């Protein structure tokens, strides 16, 4: 199939730029790119950003470019997903922009459905639902379920703010991959993904767009397939995950306070949830160098001033968040270590039983 641009005779359809950051996904990449090139909507620019992949992903990117003229490949030194997405945005020529993670997939009608909604309502952002597909380490699909269902049309900034809690409760808010953006709107806001931040970088990109948005559509049709890989390869602790989330949480706090204070408690709950997730990864990671430092790491997390202030002010939602809030508020390192060790042990027992 030949390359297409927004200036050619492709029935006057707007060009959609699809940015795919690629890193160490040799097993999953063909599934991802195949789902994009086989869209019912053909006027696409598919930008594969090879972020210095040390496996066969780089070669696969070039193979796809050879098969389909709409595929553009950018080979770069490894700088992380934010830098890769920024490079993809810089190279994009589309009227609309969307992101797809290279271990995920999309439904054939994603671009067609999202563009139709964007044009009908002159939308700056179109949200769409997703399926969560759980795979094991061997690549076998374990189960699949729709994340949630939210649908609305907001034609003013105030309408969008009134619907924002629906989006938050449906888990639509943070990812960059469940949205179609009007490219001129993104350029007008001037936002980019923060490079060097690991954890929370998606929210740092999205929220300035939310603050500026006036025309927004949410589609309850699951158009994106998010891959959740469960197993030992995912149990790796990285201290930067919490560092990034804490810094982004603190940076967004005054923005949210001014723009949409009804979302503040959800914002705080999200940080507490992330503390639980990071601690779970810490106790699932069995590398000796990590196990030896668990106590010190837990103590640092519990003592973090942003985390402690969040635990003080939040109205915790859910059993895990309520428990985590009490542990943080009381500064109880020992109890935190005992509970997270028990949680990890229970997970390992359940995993063995389910095999």
DSSP string, 172-233: -SS-STTEEEEHHHHHHHT----TT--SSHHHHHHHHHHHH---EEEEEEEEEEEEEE-SGG
Residue 209 — very low, low, confident or very high, per pLDDT cuts 50/70/90? Answer: very high
Return the percentage of the chain with pLDDT > 70, whole number.
94
On the question of pLDDT at 260 being above 70, the answer is: yes
C-beta separation of 154 from 131 below 8 A: no
Residue 136: per-residue pLDDT? 81
Residue 251: per-residue pLDDT? 96
Q: pLDDT digits over 129-186, tens only?
A: 999 998 887 788 888 899 888 999 999 999 999 999 999 999 999 999 999 999 999 9
User: Region 72-93: what's the mean pLDDT?
Assistant: 97
On the question of pLDDT at 283 being above 80, the answer is: yes
Residue 112 — very low, low, confident or very high, per pLDDT cuts 50/70/90? Answer: very high
Extended strands (E) in the chain: 16-22, 44-51, 71-76, 96-99, 105-106, 125-135, 141-146, 152-154, 179-182, 216-229
pTM: 0.91
User: Region 82-94: what's the mean pLDDT?
Assistant: 98
Q: pLDDT digits over 114-125, tens only?
A: 999 999 999 999
C-beta separation of 252 from 204 below 8 A: yes
Distances (CA, A) of 215 to 123, 185, 203, 309: 5, 11, 19, 34
User: Region 80-102: what's the mean pLDDT?
Assistant: 97
On the question of pLDDT at 355 being above 60, the answer is: no
Closest alpha carbon to 40 in 131, 120, 110, 114: 110
User: For all residues of the chain together, what is the average pLDDT?
Assistant: 92
The conformation of residue 41, written as its DSSP 8-state character, comes to -
Residue 229 — very low, low, confident or very high, per pLDDT cuts 50/70/90? Answer: confident
On the question of pLDDT at 1 being above 90, the answer is: no
Q: Could you count the other beta carbons within 10 Å of the beta carbon of residue 52?
A: 16
Q: pLDDT digits over 312-327, tens only?
A: 999 999 999 999 999 9
| Nearby residues of 202 by Cβ (< 8 Å), 6 or more positions away | 174, 175, 176, 193
- Residue reference for tokens 């924002």: 164
For residue 180, the cross-strand partners are 98, 126
Rounded CA-CA distance 264/141 in Å is 36
On the question of pLDDT at 4 being above 80, the answer is: no
Residue 199: per-residue pLDDT? 86
CA 138 to chain centre: 23
Tokens of 206: 């999205």
Rounded CA-CA distance 230/177 in Å is 20
Tokens of 117: 């909604």
Residue 319: per-residue pLDDT? 96
Q: pLDDT digits over 241-255, tens only?
A: 899 999 999 999 999
Residue 11: per-residue pLDDT? 60
For residue 18, the cross-strand partners are 46, 98
Q: Name the burial class of residue 355, with classes exposed (0-12), middle (13-18) and buried (19+) by CB atoms within 10 angstroms of its CB.
A: exposed
């Amino acid at each position: 199939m030949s390359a297409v641009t927004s200036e050619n005779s492709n029935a006057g359809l707007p060009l959609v730029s699809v940015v795919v950051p690629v890193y160490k996904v040799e097993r999953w990449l063909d599934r991802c790119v195949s789902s994009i090139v086989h869209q019912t909507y053909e006027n696409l620019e598919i930008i594969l950003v090879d972020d210095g992949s040390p496996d066969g992903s780089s070669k696969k990117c070039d193979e796809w470019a050879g098969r389909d003229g709409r595929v553009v490949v950018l080979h770069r030194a490894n700088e992380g997903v934010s830098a890769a997405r920024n490079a993809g945005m810089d190279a994009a020529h589309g009227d609309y922009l969307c992101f797809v993670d290279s271990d995920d997939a999309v439904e054939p009608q994603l671009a067609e459905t999202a563009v139709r909604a964007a044009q009908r309502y002159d939308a700056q952002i179109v949200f769409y639902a997703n399926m969560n597909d759980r795979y094991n380490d061997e690549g076998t699909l374990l189960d699949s379920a729709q994340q949630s269902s939210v649908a609305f049309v907001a034609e003013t900034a105030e309408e969008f703010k009134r619907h924002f809690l629906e989006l938050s409760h449906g888990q639509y808010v943070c990812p960059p991959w469940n949205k179609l953006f009007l490219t001129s709107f993104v350029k007008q806001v001037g936002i980019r993904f923060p490079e060097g931040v690991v954890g929370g970088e998606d929210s740092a990109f999205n929220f300035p767009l939310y603050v500026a948005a006036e025309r927004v559509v949410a589609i309850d049709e699951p158009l994106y397939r998010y891959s959740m890989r469960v197993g030992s390869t995912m149990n790796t602790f990285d201290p930067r995950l919490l560092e990034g989330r804490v810094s982004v949480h603190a940076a967004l706090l005054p923005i949210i306070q001014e723009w949409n204070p009804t979302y503040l408690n959800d914002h705080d709950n999200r940080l507490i949830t992330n503390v639980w997730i990071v601690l779970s990864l810490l106790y699932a990671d069995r590398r000796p160098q990590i196990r030896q430092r668990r106590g010190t790491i837990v103590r640092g997390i519990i003592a973090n001033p942003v985390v402690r202030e969040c635990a003080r002010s939040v109205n915790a939602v859910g059993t895990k968040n309520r428990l985590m809030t009490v542990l943080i508020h009381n500064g109880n390192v020992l109890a935190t270590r005992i509970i997270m060790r028990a949680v990890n042990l229970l997970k390992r027992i359940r995993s063995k039983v389910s095999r």
